[in-house]
Each structure stands twice: as structure tokens, then as C-alpha cells.
Structure 1
């Protein structure tokens, strides 16, 4: 990435929310009648799994490479409910070791903060 780093202070972009929602579809009624989500927004980078933090105050650093978004099929009897494996760009987070946290998104401006789980 060239130029000054991008500081991110905003709500998650709608496109990423749609992706996360597709991966977190309600899987039906759980015991007691409550609906239960079985897929979380997780990415894998450098043999580590990262979860979305919801944090919006961080600074995107240089491009690291590509992270994998695992596929999800929390509705096995509904072939249209499956979400295939995907790829997303991984970025460093200024002041944080990538072994602890990364940012992911199609562009630095759309990146969301993910922390190792």
C-alpha cells in the first residue's frame, strides 16, 4: 500500500455484513424453541483463525496477502443455503503483530478488524 495509512472509524460496510449474514444464517430451532446460528465470520491467514471483533477504530497497514473465508453449510438439507469457501485480502493493523490481529476486506477502506481466536 502506498501513501499514508488509512484510519478506519466507521460501521461495517453493507457488503461485508451481507457476507457475514450469509455465513451466519439461522440454522433452525434449538432446544427450547430459540433459533441458533452455527456459522461465524471467521477467516484463516498464516495457519491462524481470526474472528470479527466489531471494533471500528484501528489503522490499516500494508497488504499481507490473502485470507481464506471457510465455506459454511449450516442448512445441509437446503442446497441453496450453503456458502462456498472464499478469499479476501488481509492487511496488517498498525501497531499490532499479525499473529494477534489483521484487517480483511476487498480494499483498505472496507477492511474490518479480526483477532486471532
Structure 2
């Protein structure tokens, strides 16, 4: 094997190790996780959708944000289940798309997953 080939392989391996270390490290060097923003409404689960313009319609009722425990080995970090207002999205079927928020102005677009 030539010296150039060995050097190239070492550089590739070093790059992969650095990328893996950076990808796993968050603030403080520990890996971080976060719960997906999910809600349940009318027996369906919705996931948030970003970068889509929409118009909030009438209030539908109450959606539930499930409990989140993304750090199961750290006691006391569980975010409890809570409720939030569900709204229609103009021009969309609520069986597929809703908006949720504490107010209509703060509503986030959600689609069935």
C-alpha cells in the first residue's frame, strides 16, 4: 500500500471520528434528545409541520400533548401531559390537518402522521 493511500485512509477515518463526536455532543458534551411535538385530537395523532402558510379557523376543542420523557435516566425531567386548544385550518379537513395553540394567533400547524 502506498504512503499516499495510507495517509488518505487516515484522514477519512479521522474525519469520520470527528463528525461522530460532534454529532453526539451537545452543550456540556453530553448527548441531547428531545421529544417530537405530537398532539392527539379526536383519536388521531398529529405531528407539527414547519414553513407552511395557513389560516386558523374556528375552535375545534381540546387536543392533548402527551407526556415527554426524553431523558429516562434523569429523574424529574419528565414534562407532564397537558392540553391545548385545537383549531380548524381553513380549507383543510380536520381529520388530516389542524392547528394547535394557547391562542389562535400562536397556533402551530399539525398534520396526521
Question: TM-score normalised to the size of structure 1?
Answer: 0.68
Contact 2:33 2:71 in 1 (8 A): no
Which segments of 5 or more consecutive residues in structure 1 lack a partner in the other structure?
1-31
Runs of 4+ in structure 1 deviating by more than 6 angstroms, as ranges, are none
Does 2:88 correspond to 1:92?
yes
- Superposition RMSD in Å: 1.4
- The answer for the alignment partner of 2:109 in structure 1 is 113
Q: Aligned partners of 1:78, 1:57: CA distance in 2, in Å?
A: 38
Question: TM-score normalised to the size of structure 2?
Answer: 0.70
Which segments of 5 or more consecutive residues in structure 2 lack a partner in the other structure?
1-19, 25-30
Does 2:15 correspond to 1:51?
no
Q: Greater CA deviation, 76-85 or 105-114?
A: 76-85
Question: What are the within-5 Å matches in structure 2 for residues 26-45 of structure 1?
Answer: 33=21, 34=24, 35=31, 37=33, 39-45=35-41
The answer to which structure has the higher helix fraction is 2
The answer to which structure has the higher strand fraction is 1
Report which structure shows greater RCO (CA 8 Å, sep ≥6).
Answer: 1
